[in-house]
């Protein structure tokens, strides 16, 4: 039985939770977001197409850099939910992301309120035109947009909202242990062991597993369900 499942390397992103580059990127995102807010909030409706393209480019750069930080934290947490240092880092990144996101919220809120004729005129600028698909998506949400104050409050409270319950569920299920071949293992390791041991040695089990994956991939549950359930009962009798 393997000691663990395969673990991906995240060193292409950062060396670890204590990486100086990671903290530098968070600080740079926070500084850039506050600067963009100070310079442009309340002015989206009055700037030119070229200026708006610059705003969106800066907005995109901040979110891309922040996304790198968030991806690293989320992948670390997904791989090792029980590590207190990783859990603490994941939560701190979520809080930083919420803070930065709230500072940048004005960009999409103000874009959604623009008159369509005004937007069409701005899109004559070649630099802005390349963002037209994204602008259409942002503006499609205008009918469902709340007041700026409420939208900002929702963004700021995200780390303690529904996402907090998802994290609690992840932490609870990760802490569960299951008896397998004389030892207690996590769900992930148990599944990994099952695949590596049984599926490699038992051709019937391999066929049943293949059938289940075929059902899921094709979405044709009703067509294959009876066949798979029969195979499952047959396998249960054999083992």
> In the chain, what are the domain boundaries?
20-174, 178-238
Instruction: Inform me whether the pLDDT recorded for 204 exceeds 90.
Output: no
Strand partners, 184: 179
19 vs 179 pLDDT, higher one: 19
- Decide: 140 and 62 in contact? Cβ < 8 Å: no
What would the mean pLDDT of 143-164 be, rounded to a whole number? 75
Instruction: Inform me whether the pLDDT recorded for 20 exceeds 60.
Output: yes
Residue 108's nearest CA partner among 160, 48, 162, 155 is 155
Instruction: Inform me whether the pLDDT recorded for 212 exceeds 80.
Output: no
- Give the whole-number percent of the chain exceeding pLDDT 70: 69
Long-range contacts of 146-153 (CB under 8 A, 24+ apart): 148/105, 148/106, 148/109, 151/105, 151/109, 152/102, 152/105
183 by DSSP, 3-state: which?
strand
Q: What is the pLDDT of residue 153?
A: 79
| DSSP string for 45-89 | GGS-HHHHHHHHHHHHHHHHHHHHHHHHHHHHHHH-TT-HHHHHH
Instruction: Inform me whether the pLDDT recorded for 68 exceeds 90.
Output: yes
CATH assignment of 20-174, given 3.40.50.150, 2.60.40.1510, 1.20.140.70, 1.10.238.10? 1.20.140.70
Instruction: Inform me whether the pLDDT recorded for 238 exceeds 80.
Output: no
Phi/psi for 151 (5° steps) reads: -60, -40
Instruction: Inform me whether the pLDDT recorded for 224 exceeds 60.
Output: no
Q: What is the pLDDT of residue 27?
A: 96
Q: CA dist 71 to 60, 97, 98, 188, Å? A: 16, 11, 14, 21
Q: What confidence tier does 46 reach under pLDDT thresholds 50, 70, 90? A: very high
Q: What confidence tier does 233 reach under pLDDT thresholds 50, 70, 90? A: very low
- Give the whole-number percent of the chain exceeding pLDDT 90: 43
Q: What confidence tier does 192 reach under pLDDT thresholds 50, 70, 90? A: low
Instruction: Inform me whether the pLDDT recorded for 36 exceeds 60.
Output: yes
Q: What confidence tier does 87 reach under pLDDT thresholds 50, 70, 90? A: confident
Instruction: Inform me whether the pLDDT recorded for 50 exceeds 60.
Output: yes
Instruction: Inform me whether the pLDDT recorded for 188 exceeds 70.
Output: no
* Intra-chain end-to-end CA distance of the chain, in Å: 19
User: Which residues does 145 contact at the CB level (< 8 Å), separation at least 6?
Assistant: 109, 112, 113, 151
| DSSP string for 89-103 | HHHHHHHHHHHHHHH
Q: What is the dihedral of CA 140, 35, 67, 141, to 10 degrees?
A: -10
User: CA-CA distance, 132 to 109, in Å (whole number)?
Assistant: 16
Q: CA dist 171 to 1, 69, 95, Å? A: 24, 21, 18
What would the mean pLDDT of 61-66 be, rounded to a whole number? 96
Average pLDDT, the chain: 79
Residue 98, number of CB atoms within 10 A of its CB: 19
Alpha helices in the chain (DSSP H): 20-40, 49-79, 84-113, 116-122, 126-129, 132-140, 148-156, 162-175, 187-201, 203-218, 221-238
What would the mean pLDDT of 173-179 be, rounded to a whole number? 73
User: CA-CA distance, 109 to 139, in Å (whole number)?
Assistant: 9
């Amino acid at each position: 039985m393997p000691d663990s499942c395969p673990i991906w390397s995240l060193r292409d992103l950062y060396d670890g939770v204590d990486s100086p580059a990671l903290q530098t990127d968070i600080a740079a995102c926070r500084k850039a977001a506050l600067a963009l807010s100070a310079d442009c909030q309340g002015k989206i409706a009055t700037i030119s197409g070229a200026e708006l393209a610059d705003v969106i480019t800066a907005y995109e750069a901040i979110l891309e850099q922040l996304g790198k930080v968030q991806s690293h934290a989320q992948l670390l947490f997904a791989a090792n939910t029980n590590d207190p240092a990783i859990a603490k880092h994941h939560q701190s990144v979520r809080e930083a992301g919420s803070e930065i996101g709230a500072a940048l919220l004005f960009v999409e809120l103000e874009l959604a309120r623009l008159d369509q004729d005004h937007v069409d005129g701005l899109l004559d600028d070649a630099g802005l035109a390349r963002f037209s698909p994204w602008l259409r998506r942002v503006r499609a949400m205008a009918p469902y947009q709340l007041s700026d104050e409420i939208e900002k409050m929702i963004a700021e409270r995200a780390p303690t909202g529904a996402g907090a319950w998802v994290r609690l569920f992840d932490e609870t299920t990760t802490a569960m242990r299951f008896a397998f071949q004389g030892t207690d293992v996590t769900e992930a390791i148990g599944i990994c062991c099952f695949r590596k041991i049984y599926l490699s040695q038992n051709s019937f089990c391999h066929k049943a597993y293949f059938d289940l994956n075929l059902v899921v991939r094709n979405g044709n549950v009703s067509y294959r369900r009876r066949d798979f359930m029969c195979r499952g009962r047959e396998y249960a009798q054999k083992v």
